[in-house]
Amino acid sequence: MPSEPVRDPLKDHLLTPQNSAFIIIDYQPTQVNSIASMERQRLVSNIVRAAKAAVAYGLPVVHSSVNVGTGANKPPIAPLRKVLDKFLVYDRTTINSWEDAAFREAVEATGRKKLIMAALWTEACLAFPALDALREGYEVYVVADAVGGTSVVAHEMALRRIEQAGGRMISVTQLFCELQRDWQRKETLPGFMTLFFDMGGSAGVVASED
């Protein structure tokens, strides 16, 4: 049976490559190595796959780090830098990235109202900008299996707070299935299949700071 005509990708209530942006915050060695809500290598594998999906489908990407410029923190982990090497990293000192003017302006400049967000930790650097973005009329989609907190409780309470404010939870696999949507979309199908079957922990050593 033939597919239905493609829905308007700008007005679609689901995520499309044309209506969403990927926001990624603070996947740096100190933050990754302090995660206690899930297995860290799986976390790294999942966020790398999410970032690869954003690149494969041509989403605008806003990538932020914290305290690299001050010397107090290291740059984002190497596997992510490799995937996102073409994108500027907005370094800041604020815990809440929404309170950094350059970051917020970069989000606004995407022109997208659906924000796919991932950050470490869930209870701070994800929750705060997610809550602010929701308050300003954005739709927030948290990649729940690619984020983590300093404890299971801290992580779960932060996700609950975001949901209570109107945020939506998605998974990495749901992300690229939603962006692909149809097996007939041949130009992105090879990338989709690679993402779908790349389930291993090939993202490298978690503790690496290079």
Q: Which domains does the chain have, with CATH numbers?
A: 20-197 (3.40.50.850)
Q: Determine which helix (DSSP H) or strand (DSSP E) holds 22, and give its type and residue range.
A: strand 20-25
Distances (CA, A) of 99 to 69, 113, 120, 204, 209: 17, 18, 16, 32, 27
pLDDT of residue 200: 52
Q: Report the C-alpha gap between 123 and 27 in whole angstroms.
A: 14
Q: pLDDT band for position 197 (50/70/90)?
A: confident
- Per residue in 129-157, pLDDT tens? 999 999 999 999 999 999 999 999 999 99
Q: Report the C-alpha gap between 25 and 142 in whole angstroms.
A: 12
- Cα–chain center distance at 14: 17
The 3 state secondary structure assigned to 63-92 is: EEEECCCCCCCCCCCHHHHHHCCCCCEEEE
Q: Among the listed ranges 138-147, 158-167, 192-201, which one has the minimum average pLDDT value?
A: 192-201
Q: pLDDT band for position 4 (50/70/90)?
A: confident
Q: Residue 72 CB: number of other CB atoms within 10 A?
A: 10
- Per residue in 38-86, pLDDT tens? 999 999 999 999 999 999 999 999 999 999 999 999 999 999 999 999 9
Q: pLDDT band for position 121 (50/70/90)?
A: very high
Structure tokens, 115: 């924000």
